A and B are shown apart, each in its own frame.
Chain A
């Protein structure tokens, strides 16, 4: 077991470790990947880059055996393979270090490392052998962890190292790291990078997914770029400087499907100063740190950013969703406020459309009417008593401009399509007659027709003087619908751009952590 990762490769052999050829994968009617080629060589870090939804995760999941129904060929060391399950992939030496770790928190380090493949003696798990072997591997990685320690007792960075140790014990030759540094502090990142160098020396091939430019510049040997499921290109890192890489990633023309009509900008609706949000408690690292921004009546302020930018947490914190775990100053129409629960925010005219309508937007077993009036119950009730006919009229009225497709308003929202469900959530918030709409991915997972309708509605709302803060991970939507764009990276604002200044390249650069001064 130990000698298998002791061999040193000094240079790339001509034969790639993994060759993926003509990979295509479809989800329902949409292609997630179209004819993508991807190769990994011994002893290199291959960065897989692309915007949200470019197909990176899908490609990696195919390599890891999560999806088995794809078109194309995978060869490992020149031998064609076909994985039916993650276990198959694991057997062939593919290991994935997930963003969310896949360790069992309550079990010990040793038990986790040998989970599913215990070392046994006479058919019983041998703690002794497992511990000895664990110590062996941890020593090689230079880690000082007690093999008996429970996983949830050690810091997250060490947990990640344990994942890597687990991969090594399984003789993994191909290690996939999906944004491994998102939860790590700077010294921990250094530790991980030096470990990656060791792994390279041992001949492992590493696939590295990241949204951070500085990381790409530091550790990439080769970069492959995907965009909208297509293969854009693959090049050695030294031949692909930053600006060129961004061009590859963005690359597309922005089509004129966005009907944004600028409206007259009114007085300042919301201003936040030095606002910080601590979703995991005040002791933990904040998800939003010292953010200041403002939005005016009739204006759409777009917030751009990649995964982990903290923009969703910003809106949730603003809306009172994190209780007391917020710091900073908020002024609504010039008056200082700070919301510690959503009902306070709703009363003051805020509405938050969350980014996951099923998990946090809708009460699925309830009817369309019940969902529509849920946030406005206090006003629709009379002395605490509900008036079903009044609720029904209110729902029908607010639903009218939304063009909802349902056989009856008494239907459970469960039975509606994604686009129509989104309209129910929108109706719920319109019913409260908000003056400030916080929209977190309002068009996620809905079809083009429904998207266009939502864009038109956003125009109407701003024309009525409603202020909108819009989060979207789709670059064209962000650029076309926003009157002003703020870009966030790891909880901080890295750029604030007027609409005519904003370009895809600038936004992406800022989203990957490069600070862009105003007026550039």
Chain B
């Protein structure tokens, strides 16, 4: 190795500082700070109970699943605003299939996944084929899917209370699949939804870090033209990213329906923004080309725990929203520490 290279190496900070200023290190610092917040404001010991952590994870899992898909799209240099609406559409469809039509789970779940992936495919196709800005194409899909959810549900929540022609309600049983998804395992210490979330994290991690397609997403997010000239099938890789985001939104929609035991066409309003916030707090660059699923996992935990800590301390929603806003900015500013 030449002299110059050695000198460059010497100039680099080493050890602890290096770990702290790495993307994962920065994201972890934010998470640890939130944890410390919990240890200090533990709401008379509530923070030390297993149930609190289980619930924090349960409540953040749906956001986390959306954030997995969002990470794929953002790393590829795009954005997907439609995930919240697709979640609602799938929640409505899933409830219709399971509660009203009594379809079996093995059929209704794949059907819902196809619905979500199709929505993603459409926004991806519009973005990749017609070069519509992803902000616009997914904004259109966001509005469209919301409308579709309302059409399919007739503007009503699809719940176990079925209205009879004479105006009375008949209550049907909650489908088994709903109960199964919303149940707890490990002696009541973990919810199935959280397990699904962790499965999504694992799947997207494998895709991003170990599959050819993942590398293609980084490449086209980092420099689309260079990727194209290196033989990357830009159009296909991009469409697949939006499809994956739609698919994950469908999974989130199924979880949401099971947790609420109903399909609400108004569900998921603003969830896309929470998902973006999670990705950004994790440290994935909105410009594309940089980031990872590990960061999104940390970001999900940061946001989830923050919400939980604020709520066990009975901080009113108004203050909670303001605090969340402040903390997003702080997290992003912190990611710049030690950068040139």
Interface of A toward B, CB cutoff 8 Å? 319, 321, 342-343, 346-347, 352, 354, 359-366, 370, 374-375, 377-378, 381, 384-386, 388, 405-407, 428
Is B2 a contact of A405 with CB atoms below 8 Å?
A: yes
Is A407 a contact of B226 with CB atoms below 8 Å?
A: no
Instruction: Say whether B165 faces chain A, with CB atoms less than 8 Å apart.
Output: no
Is A374 a contact of B210 with CB atoms below 8 Å?
A: no
- Excluding A386-B212, A407-B1, A407-B8, 4 further A-B contacts by CB distance (< 8 Å) are A319-B229, A363-B222, A363-B223, A407-B12
Indicate whether A370 sits within 8 Å of B218 (C-beta atoms), given known contacts A360-B226, A363-B227, A386-B210: yes
Is A359 a contact of B232 with CB atoms below 8 Å?
A: no
Instruction: Say whether B270 faces chain A, with CB atoms less than 8 Å apart.
Output: no
B274-299 near A? 1/0 per residue, CB < 8 Å: 00000000000100011000000000
Instruction: Say whether B228 faces chain A, with CB atoms less than 8 Å apart.
Output: yes
Sort chain B's interface into a size bin: 20 to 34
- Tell me if B's interface is mostly helix, strand, loop or mixed: helix
Instruction: Say whether B219 faces chain A, with CB atoms less than 8 Å apart.
Output: yes
Given A377, A388, A405, which contacts B4 in the complex, CB threshold below 8 Å?
Answer: A405
Report Cα–Cα, A388/B1, bound state, in Å: 23
Which residues of the other chain, A, contact B227 by a CB distance below 8 angstroms?
363, 374
Is B219 a contact of A354 with CB atoms below 8 Å?
A: no
Report Cα–Cα, A406/B7, bound state, in Å: 11
Which residues of the other chain, B, contact A359 by a CB distance below 8 angstroms?
223, 225-226
21 residue pairs of the A-B complex, CB under 8 angstroms, read A343-B231, A343-B232, A352-B229, A354-B229, A359-B225, A361-B229, A363-B219, A363-B223, A364-B222, A365-B222, A366-B222, A370-B219, A374-B215, A374-B219, A374-B232, A377-B215, A384-B212, A384-B213, A386-B210, A386-B215, A388-B210
Is B233 a contact of A343 with CB atoms below 8 Å?
A: yes
Is B289 a contact of A365 with CB atoms below 8 Å?
A: yes
Report Cα–Cα, A366/B214, bound state, in Å: 12
Which residues of the other chain, A, contact B211 by a CB distance below 8 angstroms?
384-386
Instruction: Say whether B314 faces chain A, with CB atoms less than 8 Å apart.
Output: no
Is B9 a contact of A363 with CB atoms below 8 Å?
A: no
Which residues of B71-115 have CB atoms within 8 Å of chain A's CB atoms?
none
User: Nearest Cβ distance between residue A312 and chain B, in whole angstroms?
Assistant: 12
Report Cα–Cα, A125/B108, bound state, in Å: 63
Instruction: Say whether B216 faces chain A, with CB atoms less than 8 Å apart.
Output: yes
B189-231 near A? 1/0 per residue, CB < 8 Å: 0000000000000000000001111111011001101111111
Report Cα–Cα, A66/B57, bound state, in Å: 57
Given A319, A366, A385, A405, which contacts B218 in the complex, CB threshold below 8 Å?
Answer: A366
Report Cα–Cα, A362/B1, bound state, in Å: 23
User: Nearest Cβ distance between residue A415 and chain B, in whole angstroms?
Assistant: 8
Instruction: Say whether B5 faces chain A, with CB atoms less than 8 Å apart.
Output: yes
Taking each of B213, B219, B226, B227, which has the highest tally of chain A beta carbons within 10 Å of its own beta carbon?
A: B226
B1-32 near A? 1/0 per residue, CB < 8 Å: 11011001100100000000000000000000
Taking each of A354, A361, A363, A366, which has the highest tally of chain B beta carbons within 10 Å of its own beta carbon?
A: A363
Indicate whether A377 sits within 8 Å of B222 (C-beta atoms), given known contacts A319-B229, A342-B228: no
User: Nearest Cβ distance between residue A375 and chain B, in whole angstroms?
Assistant: 4
Which residues of the other chain, A, contact B4 by a CB distance below 8 angstroms?
405
- Sorted nearest first, the 4 A-B pairs with minimum C-beta distance are A343-B231, A363-B222, A365-B289, A375-B230
Which residues of the other chain, A, contact B12 by a CB distance below 8 angstroms?
407
Report Cα–Cα, A321/B234, bound state, in Å: 13
Which residues of the other chain, B, contact A384 by a CB distance below 8 angstroms?
211-213
Query: Closest B-chain residue to A384, C-beta based?
Result: B212
Query: Closest B-chain residue to A373, C-beta based?
Result: B215
Which residues of the other chain, B, contact A319 by a CB distance below 8 angstroms?
229
Indicate whether A377 sits within 8 Å of B289 (C-beta atoms), given known contacts A319-B229, A363-B218, A364-B223: no
Which residues of the other chain, B, contact A407 by a CB distance below 8 angstroms?
1, 5, 8-9, 12
Which residues of the other chain, B, contact A428 by a CB distance below 8 angstroms?
230
Given A354, A366, A375, which contacts B289 in the complex, CB threshold below 8 Å?
Answer: A366
Given B228, B230, B231, B290, which contacts A365 in the complex, CB threshold below 8 Å?
Answer: B290
Report Cα–Cα, A375/B8, bound state, in Å: 29
Taking each of B210, B230, B231, which has the highest tally of chain A beta carbons within 10 Å of its own beta carbon?
A: B230
Report Cα–Cα, A407/B228, bound state, in Å: 29
Report Cα–Cα, A361/B215, bound state, in Å: 16
Query: Closest A-chain residue to B235, C-beta based?
Result: A341
Which residues of the other chain, A, contact B233 by a CB distance below 8 angstroms?
343
Query: Closest A-chain residue to B75, C-beta based?
Result: A365
Which residues of the other chain, B, contact A361 by a CB distance below 8 angstroms?
226, 229
B227-258 near A? 1/0 per residue, CB < 8 Å: 11111110000000000000000000000000
Is A374 a contact of B290 with CB atoms below 8 Å?
A: no
Indicate whether A377 sits within 8 Å of B9 (C-beta atoms), given known contacts A346-B231, A362-B226, A363-B226: no
User: Nearest Cβ distance between residue A314 and chain B, in whole angstroms?
Assistant: 15
Is A377 a contact of B226 with CB atoms below 8 Å?
A: no
Given B9, B218, B225, B290, which contacts A360 in the complex, CB threshold below 8 Å?
Answer: B225
Is B229 a contact of A360 with CB atoms below 8 Å?
A: yes
Is B215 a contact of A405 with CB atoms below 8 Å?
A: no
Is B219 a contact of A385 with CB atoms below 8 Å?
A: no
Is A374 a contact of B212 with CB atoms below 8 Å?
A: no
